[in-house]
């Protein structure tokens, strides 16, 4: 009979779900504040919109006169809204508990479980955790996009071949800012002139040249550039290989032979290049020599005898990969 009663009780008890008895709370239940969560989500959304606004502001050239102010406004509002969201979370959604007790060594599983329970119960004011996390992640991604966007100004990364494409070809005539052909007789020894390829876009990075006449006996060009400087006239890219500024200064010796030799100088960071030695870097942060353009003279006019000796402008990663040598 006893075995029969036990078997019946066992069969009747099968399939019934055992409800775990919740452990006794360590932290007092916190008051739910769904309204505060909505405020946090709204602030994070505003932070995301403000940060995302930075990208079109940066891309629109029509806002050129207001870009600096709008840059500061968009990023400032993004960080302001993000800070306000953090303050609301700290003041309303994070419970403050003060438990005075001595710390014990967390050696037992029961003590570790108690600590985990305290952490879990302390965040019980959040009723929309997933939505708050999504809003916080969106705000972080938007701010990251805004902060990374200016990196596009460091140089082209989708089409780096444009750094090697120029309008200079053999026979292309050099013209000045008034589209007048540059004659060899126009180039003096104490100053340089700026020239462009005839019929090409002057704003292209490979268009402007600095042209100067040197004493043919002072030339120290590489061996493979023999004939690139007819009558001592040399031409180099006007774009500095450090930060892309325009070469605007030309240093000439005032008290020979003790004065420094002739050199091109970039006014931005004072990179200095030697026109007699193939545009060699003499001073400053520039990492590559100035690219040189071979010249020839036809009927007294200066014409290109080919393309540049190397890529134009600063040493962006695409240039480094495509041309490891110092041109």
Query: Which of 7-11, 83-87, 133-137, 316-320 has the largest mean confidence?
Result: 83-87
Q: Are 236 and 252 in contact (CB under 8 A)?
A: no
- In the DSSP assignment, the letter for residue 224 is G
Structure token pair of residue 93: 């959604």
pLDDT attached to residue 325: 38
Per-residue DSSP letter, 253: -
Which of 30-34, 117-121, 184-188 has the largest mean confidence?
Answer: 184-188
pLDDT in tens, 82-110: 999 889 888 887 766 666 666 666 567 76
Q: In this predicted model, which residue has the larger pLDDT, 18 or 186?
A: 186
Q: What residues have CB less than 8 Å from 50, skipping those under 6 apart?
A: 74, 75, 77, 78, 81, 142
**Mean pLDDT of the chain, nearest integer:** 79
CA 199 to chain centre: 33
Both structure tokens of 133: 């996390």
Higher pLDDT, 215 or 124: 215
Q: What is the DSSP letter of 178?
A: T
162-322: CATH topology is Rieske Iron-sulfur Protein (2.102.10)
Q: What is the pLDDT of residue 243?
A: 83
Mean pLDDT value across residues 275-297 = 90
Weakest-pLDDT range from 2-6, 40-44, 80-84, 119-123:
119-123
- pLDDT-derived band at 324 (thresholds 50, 70, 90) equals very low
Please indicate, yes or no, whether the overall pTM of this predicted structure exceeds 0.75: no
Could you tell me which of 255, 256, 278 has the C-alpha nearest to residue 264? 278
- Structure confidence at residue 14 as a pLDDT band (50, 70, 90): low
| Confidence band of 37 (pLDDT split at 50, 70, 90) | confident
* pLDDT tier for residue 327 given thresholds of 50, 70 and 90: very low
Residue 254 has pLDDT above 80, yes or no: no
Band of residue 160 on the pLDDT scale cut at 50, 70, 90: low
User: Is the sign of the CA dihedral 181, 184, 189, 195 positive or negative?
Assistant: positive
> Is 228's pLDDT higher than 90?
yes
Q: Domain spans of the chain?
A: 31-97+107-154, 162-322
What pLDDT is attached to residue 234?
A: 94
Rounded to whole angstroms, the Cα distance separating 296 from 182 reads 12
DSSP 8-state secondary structure symbol assigned to residue 91: I
Residue 99: the pLDDT is: 62
* DSSP string for 22-84: PPPPSSPPPPP-HHHHHHHHHHHHHHHHHHHHHHHHHH-GGGTTTHHHHHHHHHHHHHHHHHH
Confidence at 158, pLDDT banded by 50, 70, 90 = low
**∠ CA 303-248-165 to the nearest 5 degrees?**
45
Query: Is the per-residue pLDDT at 212 higher than 50?
Result: yes
Query: Do 207 and 200 contact (CB within 8 A), yes or no?
Result: yes
Beta-sheet strand order (sheet of 292-293):
174-175, 193-197, 209-213, 233-237, 292-293
Q: Which pLDDT score is estimated for 323? A: 43
> Do 309 and 291 touch, CB atoms closer than 8 A?
yes
pLDDT higher than 60, residue 68: yes
Please name which of 307, 304, 270, 308 lies closest in space to residue 195, comparing C-alpha atoms. Answer: 304
pLDDT surpasses 80 at 76:
yes
């Amino acid at each position: 009979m006893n075995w029969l009663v036990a078997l019946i009780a066992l069969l009747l008890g099968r399939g019934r779900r055992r409800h775990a008895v919740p452990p006794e709370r360590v932290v007092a239940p916190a008051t739910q504040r769904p309204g505060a969560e909505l405020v946090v989500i709204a602030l994070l959304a505003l932070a995301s919109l403000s940060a995302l606004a930075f990208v079109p502001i940066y891309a629109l050239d029509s806002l050129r006169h207001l870009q600096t102010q709008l840059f500061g406004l968009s990023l400032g509002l993004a960080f302001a809204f993000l800070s306000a969201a953090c303050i609301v979370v700290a003041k309303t959604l994070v419970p403050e508990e003060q438990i005075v007790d001595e710390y014990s060594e967390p050696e037992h599983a029961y003590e570790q479980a108690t600590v985990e329970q305290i952490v879990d119960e302390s965040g019980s004011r959040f009723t929309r955790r997933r939505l708050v996390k999504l809003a916080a992640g969106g705000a972080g991604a938007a701010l990251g996009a805004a902060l990374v966007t200016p990196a596009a100004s460091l140089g082209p990364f989708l089409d780096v071949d444009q750094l090697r494409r120029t309008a200079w070809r053999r026979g292309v005539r050099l013209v000045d800012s008034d589209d007048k052909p540059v004659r060899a007789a126009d180039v003096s020894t104490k100053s340089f002139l700026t020239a462009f390829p005839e019929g090409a876009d002057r704003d292209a990075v490979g268009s402007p040249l600095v042209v100067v006449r040197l004493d043919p006996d002072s030339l120290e060009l590489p061996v493979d550039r023999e004939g690139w400087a007819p009558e001592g006239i040399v031409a180099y890219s006007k774009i500095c290989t450090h930060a892309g500024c325009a070469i605007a200064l030309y240093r000439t010796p005032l008290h020979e032979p003790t004065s420094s030799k002739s050199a091109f100088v970039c006014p931005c960071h004072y990179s200095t290049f030697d026109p007699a030695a193939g545009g060699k870097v003499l001073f400053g942060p520039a990492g590559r020599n100035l690219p040189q353009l071979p010249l020839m003279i036809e009927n007294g006019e200066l014409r290109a005898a080919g393309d540049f000796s190397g890529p134009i402008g600063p040493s962006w990663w695409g240039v480094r990969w495509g041309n490891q040598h110092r041109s």
